[in-house]
A and B are shown apart, each in its own frame.
Chain A
């Protein structure tokens, strides 16, 4: 099995040190299982988040605009309604240019898929936040990178490219929150994704650790 780490995602400046350490350990596990692990560059992956927002979000927003946004806007939470409202205002000319750009980004992803059975990244470049702190409300332009871009930068290149991807547990942060390894493959390559994910889980204990739901629920009350 020939795998490749996506350099721009896995080794960017924004990757948290705990995420980086868990990811490096995951690569060691996969190498230990016999995989060849190399690096691949996807320079256009950095545009996946805005392109997804300019296309898929605009598509979704057009439906909500026709059905809910005009007369039931305030029934949505702040993060959802402001996201939908902004996406409903994307000019059609920009939407169609972004759709063309998606195919360019996708072509770069597929080029990598021709050389490797699967691509690897951390599922998220930072540890997850607690739900109470995860609301996507923007107070200033300083919030754009952490709240809009960074939380999506690892998965959107693959969802934008219409290829299968899987997230498997690969450790925990010091705060006890789960970290994960992402495995993506070529179109209709679900079986490859499952093979890599299953092999990794058989060699690691992370998927057997479950949250203490009783403790979690009691702490919220």
Chain B
């Protein structure tokens, strides 16, 4: 998923981040694109296992170890 600068501006506005300068836009778009694209690949490889996983938080106080 490629996040365009125009899409990014809308997202930033929705979150109330109105102080982001133009010179940061490409950097932020690149990061967001990277992580969302990675998630698409993760879904493609692990989607069935993700569906079967419990949505538990990353704290496991009573496990076997």
Contact flags B1-21 to A (C-beta < 8 A → 1, else 0):
000000010011001111111
Number of B interface residues in the complex (CB < 8 A): 40
Contacts A65-B17, A101-B50; is A50 near B39 (CB within 8 Å)?
A: yes
User: Would you give the shortest CB distance from A55 to chain B, in whole angstroms?
Assistant: 7
A99 touches B30 (CB 8 A): no
Instruction: Tell me, yes or no, whether A36 is within 8 Å of chain B by CB.
Output: no
Instruction: Tell me, yes or no, whether A128 is within 8 Å of chain B by CB.
Output: no
B58 touches A101 (CB 8 A): no
B15 touches A65 (CB 8 A): yes
Identity of the chain B residue whose Cβ is nearest the Cβ of A159 in the assembled complex: B58
B39 touches A100 (CB 8 A): no
* Chain A residues with CB under 8 A of B20: 73, 85
User: Would you give the shortest CB distance from A4 to chain B, in whole angstroms?
Assistant: 17
* Chain B residues with CB under 8 A of A85: 12, 17, 20, 24, 28
Contacts A53-B35, A86-B35; is A103 near B53 (CB within 8 Å)?
A: yes
Identify which of A74-82, A200-208, A213-221 touches chain B: A74-82
Which residues of chain B from 35 to 63 have any CB-CB distance to chain A below 8 Å in the complex? Answer: 35-36, 38-39, 41-43, 45-46, 49-51, 53-60, 63
* Chain A residues with CB under 8 A of B53: 100-101, 103-104
* Chain B residues with CB under 8 A of A160: 58
Which residues of chain A from 175 to 213 have any CB-CB distance to chain B below 8 Å in the complex? Answer: 186-189
Q: List 24 A-B contacts (CB under 8 A).
A: A47-B41, A50-B34, A50-B42, A70-B15, A70-B17, A71-B19, A82-B31, A85-B24, A85-B28, A100-B55, A101-B42, A101-B53, A103-B53, A103-B56, A110-B65, A113-B65, A137-B27, A144-B30, A148-B31, A148-B34, A162-B58, A162-B59, A162-B60, A189-B65
Partner-B contacts on A (CB < 8 A): 44, 47, 50-51, 53-56, 65, 69-71, 73-74, 78, 81-83, 85-86, 88-90, 94, 96-104, 110, 113, 137-138, 140-141, 143-144, 148, 160, 162, 186-189
Q: Considering the complex of A and B, which 6 residue pairs feature the smallest CB-CB distances, nearest first?
A: A50-B38, A86-B31, A187-B65, A73-B19, A100-B53, A82-B27
